[in-house]
Structure 1
Amino acid sequence: MKSLQKITLKVPFCENLDLFENLLEDVNETQTTDLELVNVLPDLCNVTGDPFRNLRTMPLQTHQMKYLESLDLSFNSIVLDKPCFWPTHITSLSLSNNNLGNKVFSFLSQYFQRIDLSKTGITGLTQEDLSQFPMLTHLFLSSNSIKVIPTDLSPTLVSLYIDQNSITSVSRESLAGLPSLRTLKAGDNPFVCSCDSYWFINTLNKSLLPDWPLDYTCSTPPSVADLPMSEYRTSRMSCEAWLQAAVALPVTMLIVLALCSAFYACDGVWYTKMLWVWIRVKRRGQKQANLLNNTTFRYHSFISYSHQDSAWVESKLVPSLEGAGLSLCIHERDFVPGQWIVDNIINCVEASYKTLFVLSNHFVQSEWCNYELFFAQHRAIDAQQDSLVFILLEPIPTNSLPKKFLKLRRLLMQQTYLEWPMDERKQQVFWVNLRSMLQVADHRILKDMALELAQSASLIPDDLVPLLK
């Protein structure tokens, strides 16, 4: 029949019309002179003729074919031009091997249940494309250039053929949008064998895949290229972020707990506090140098303490500091005899670079210690310097502080203080920090004292004395 150039169809009982690879150009139902097919077999009608071009022509000629359900227009040169008005009784259409592109979906009927668009030049598929086919159950998209299966594709799809496309992975989310799916043919795609394909390889029910495992191979990375996907192995731990977090969190907590325990056991808190004291001393050194350029002192520090703590001061504090070359003012030794004690306190505080308080329960019970703290605090405010240094010889309960020492509580919250440790190893760190806090920032400070000592001891000739001035 390929010699026919034009045909006329009158096929009221035809259910399947196959125009596969025909040469039909136009189909006219009104003419009956060339060929009339009546009461043919109900399962197939094969017709050939001139080349078939415009898709719009076919729906117009099938409206009177009340029993026609399936139409095959494969291997033609169909052109998409104007909108098509398909009869409701046609539910299956094949347009495979026609160059149609992505816009073909807008030319199809909402009543279609089976659509074959294999090798039609489709490059992308969206949920909007299929939302206009509420009864679609079978979709064939083989041999196109589709890269991604979108999520929420179609809840009615039972069969989806998407093999020989450009899909790199099939995600759990995309198949979650296909709750009725029973057949998925997705072989011969350039799959990336990585964590993106972990779920597809290890978890997906393979009874959905009629072409598994023969048509599924790894394309990338190069290390596993051409490897069958069924043989690709990767751990769940390396691919599941929530599982990594579930394992990493308790491990991290255990490590932190172990480090904190070791830190506490090795007195890390105490050493950290001492380090912070040392850093603050270094940072303040430069600032204090500018304030003290025009000031001279006789002593590095005036020691304020209760006479009941004199044993510790005389046996521990004084030898350690004076042995390091620091000059100390101690009321039992350096107060001027016959002078009013308050004047002695004021003069010693003003003549000292720092005022060092040895705090203990005895200290807060001493009236004179309160005077010394009061004058030293006001001197620090007037001079705008950090001249107060506190040594906590023993713990002092807050409720044991008399009302007159309420300022001491606030000072301890604002000022850095050193705690006297019982451990001999820690005592070495204690003395280093204390000496750093008492060191004079400017080389001209204590110049008068050095000159006086040198002259009294006759350590230098008289002709060198002017050099010290």
Structure 2
Amino acid sequence: MSVVVSLPQAMPVVVSLLVISWMFQSTAGSCPYGYKCHLERNTYVLECDLFDKTQQLKVDDVPAIATHLKIICTYRRPSLTLTLANLPNIQKLTLDHLDLATWDDTMFRGVTNMSHLVLKKLSRKRFDNDSFSGLRNLRSLEIEHLDELKYMHPNMLTPLLSLQSLSFRHVGSVYDALNYTDYGLVIQELHHLKHLRHLDLSHNQLSTLSVSARKALDEIPTVEVDISGNPLLCDCSNTDFVTWIHTTKRKFLNKQHTQCTGKNHTPNLLFYFDHEALMDSCRSPNTRWYLTILLPIGIAFIIIAVLICALYRYRWKCAYCCSRIHVYKMSSGDKVDPVVYERDAFICYSSSDRAWVCNELLKRLEDGHVSTIIHQRDFLPGSVLHDSIIESIDKCRYTILVFSPDFLASDWCKLETHLARSCIITQGRDVIVPIVLREFPNATLSPTFQGILEKSYLKWSDNPDEQPEFWDRDVRTSPMKGCEDVTYEGM
């Protein structure tokens, strides 16, 4: 059976077909030169077709129903300048296998309502701080398979105030870019992204996250992190990161696929292995190292400190011993009869009391046939002072100490007192005859001087009526006791 359609009857059908064809053409839009284009539901796809290199790609004729613009060059990677005209309907943009010769803050001005940006396999080596300017409404950013990426500016995400999802997957040097850039840390600067909910760092070359990156993630309470597929380390070199993983309140995704390399290159599930055992095993060698190195150093330091304190405490006695040894060596072993003395008295005094000693004491003693030694007159020029003091004490029956405030303040007088008092031990005799020339506060007396003055001593008075009593007491028969350090200022 055949149906015959007359021309008047066929006209509506022809017109309808023409209208449908015109609508499809107007919907599909016209393709830029050198590209093929087609519309897949709401996705407008531009594919490289003729040329390996295209100087400029201007996208300004996109069907009104398209909300997803996808530019892909699967077989070619042209170096081009991308210009996006006013495309208010585009909500998602995918750039795949492109080499963008220029990338500045004007590139995204035409896509004011874009909320999702996908960058895949671009010939891109760096992202600057203005690479994503103008995308204030962007909620999702995916960066994948950028093997040539070397640098990401730490503030490149600052304009993305509405960002909720951020993905870095299969990025070439993401470890350096995220953790240790020249100007800062990308993850460290995420704290301003208050709406961030998802952070995908999977399948990169991360062995750890820096301290600053971990601190920044802790400041975003709602973010979920995926670090699976990375060559993470869970050995002694990365214990702080492992501890953070098990103590942070951050939620991690794909835990069952997150592995780490432990000691002896053993694989572990990062979130399920015994990290406390790792802490203990790493802590023990460190402890042994500290004990092996620091403990002997500490003991040696304590011994040296004790020796220094002891030498300072007994510095005058040490000086006396050294001097005695030196004199003994000089004498070539000759023994001196301790009973035979060359002089009667060695006088120790401060240089400020020299006038009284020379004009009063020395004159009166020598007038009484008491032979004396004083350093200004009897010490040989150029001789060793310690040796001369010891020789003088050994030559004399007694050592007269002329006490005064200046005597007590003189280090040389302290040394001479100590050397004289040591005769009690070395020779078994007390040789000290103390004379108090001028009064001084008892608080200024050392225990040594107090011990000397607790015994009998001669006291000088400026009153002429009391001076005869002083001279009536014979120095050679005066009660004497011990000695410590004696000095001469100006020696």
* TM-score (normalizing by structure 1): 0.51
- Give the direction of change, closer, same or farther, for the CA distance of 1:234–1:410 in structure 2 (3 Å limit): same
Distance in 1 (alpha carbons) for counterparts of 2:128 and 2:170: 16
8 Å Cα contact 1:216-1:229 kept in structure 2: yes
Q: Secondary structure at the match of 1:129?
A: coil
2:167 equivalent to 1:167 = no
Report deviation, 1:412.
Answer: 6.1
Rounded to whole Å, the distance in 2 between the matches of 1:169 and 1:342 is: 96
Structure 2 residue 280 is matched with structure 1 residue 280: no
Q: Give the letter aligned to residue 391 of structure 2.
A: Y
Give the distance between the partners of 1:238 and 1:390, measured in 2 at CA: 63
Q: What residue in structure 2 maps to residue 79 of structure 1?
A: 100
- C-alpha change, 1:236 and 1:122, in structure 2 (3 Å) is farther
Q: 1:334 to 1:118 in 2, by over 3 A?
A: same
Deviation of 1:162 (Å): 1.8
Separation in 2, partners of 1:326, 1:128: 92
The structure 1 residue matched to 2:279, chosen from 226, 230, 235, is 235
The reply to whether residue 404 of structure 1 matches residue 438 of structure 2 is yes
The separation in 1 between residues aligned to 2:210 and 2:223, in whole angstroms, is 16
Matched with 2:118 is: 94
What aligned pairs does 1:41-440 form with structure 2 within 5 A after superposition? Answer: 53=78, 56-60=81-85, 63=86, 65-74=87-96, 76-81=97-102, 83=104, 84-86=106-108, 87=110, 88-103=112-127, 106-111=130-135, 112-120=138-146, 121-144=148-171, 145-147=173-175, 148-149=178-179, 150=185, 152-154=188-190, 155-156=192-193, 157-178=196-217, 179-180=219-220, 181-193=222-234, 194-205=238-249, 207=251, 209-218=252-261, 223-230=264-271, 231=273, 232=275, 233-235=277-279, 276-277=315-316, 279-281=318-320, 327-328=337-338, 343-344=369-370, 346=372, 353-355=391-393, 372-374=400-402, 387-388=416-417, 389-391=419-421, 404=438, 406=440
Name the CA shift for 1:354/1:162 in 2 (closer, same or farther; >3 Å): farther
Offset at residue 17 of structure 1 (A): 4.1
The one-letter code of the counterpart of 2:201 is I
CA–CA separation in structure 1 for the residues paired with 2:47 and 2:339: 115
C-alpha contact (below 8 Å) 2:83/2:107 kept by paired residues: no
Post-superposition Cα deviations, 1:112-168, rounded to whole Å, max 9, x if no partner, equal: 332211111323444222234333332211111212432632221332222222323
Q: What is the alpha-carbon distance in structure 1 between the residues aligned to residue 413 and residue 314 of structure 2?
A: 24
Instruction: Tell me the TM-score normalised to structure 2 length.
Output: 0.49
Whether the 8 Å contact between 1:110 and 1:135 is mirrored in structure 2 is no
Measured in 2, the distance between the counterparts of 1:183 and 1:345 equals: 101
Cα offset, 1:39, TM superposition: 4.0
The residue aligned with 1:312 is none
Determine the C-alpha separation between the residues in 1 that align with 2:243 and 2:143.
Answer: 28
Q: Distance in 2 between matches of 1:223 and 1:103?
A: 38
Letter paired with 1:404: R
| Counterpart residue number, 1:302 | none
Q: Is the 8 Å Cα contact of residues 80 and 100 (structure 1) preserved in structure 2?
A: no
Q: 1 or 2, which has the higher strand percentage?
A: 2
Q: 1:95, CA displacement in angstroms?
A: 1.0
Q: Report the CA distance shift for 1:223/1:236 in structure 2 as closer, same or farther (over 3 A).
A: closer
- Confirm or deny: 8 A CA contact 1:7 1:28 kept in the other structure: no
Partners of 1:374 and 1:407 in 2: CA distance? 16
Give the C-alpha shift of residue 206 in structure 1.
Answer: 5.4
Deviation at 1:94, TM superposition (A): 0.5
C-alpha distance in 2 between matches for 1:347 and 1:104 = 92
Partner AA of 2:122 in structure 1: N
CA-atom RMSD in angstroms? 5.8
In structure 2, relative to structure 1, the CA distance for the partners of 1:39 and 1:274 (3 Å cut) is closer
Q: Which has the higher contact order (CA 8 A, sep 6+)?
A: 1
| 1:160 counterpart SS class | strand
Which whole-Å CA distance do the structure 2 matches of 1:270 and 1:98 have between them? Answer: 72
SS at match of 2:212: helix
Give, in whole Å, the separation in 2 of the partners of 1:342 and 1:160: 107
- Helix, strand or coil for the counterpart of 1:177? helix
**CA-to-aligned-CA distance 1:333-366 (integer Å, 9 cap, x gap):** 9859xx968642515996971438xxxxxxxxxx
Q: Name stretches of at least 5 consecutive residues in structure 2 with no aligned partner.
A: 1-27, 180-184, 346-364, 379-387, 425-434, 453-481, 486-491
Does structure 1 conserve the Cα–Cα contact (< 8 Å) formed by 2:188 and 2:215?
yes
Secondary structure class of the residue paired with 1:353: helix
Distance 2:72 2:265 in 1: 49
Q: 2:126·2:151 contact (CA, 8 Å) conserved in 1?
A: yes
1:451 equivalent in structure 2: none
Instruction: State the distance in 2 between where 1:410 and 1:284 align.
Output: 28
Matched residue SS, 2:267: coil
Deviation at 1:89, TM superposition (A): 1.4
CA contact (8 A) 1:91 1:114 kept: yes
User: Taking structure 1 as reference, are residues 46 and 136 closer, same or farther at Cα in structure 2, changes over 3 Å only?
Assistant: closer
| Unmatched tracts of structure 1, length 5 or more | 31-35, 297-323, 357-367, 394-400, 419-433, 438-469
Take 2:338 and 2:446, find their aligned partners in 1: how far apart are those partners? 23
Report how many aligned residue pairs link the two structures.
325
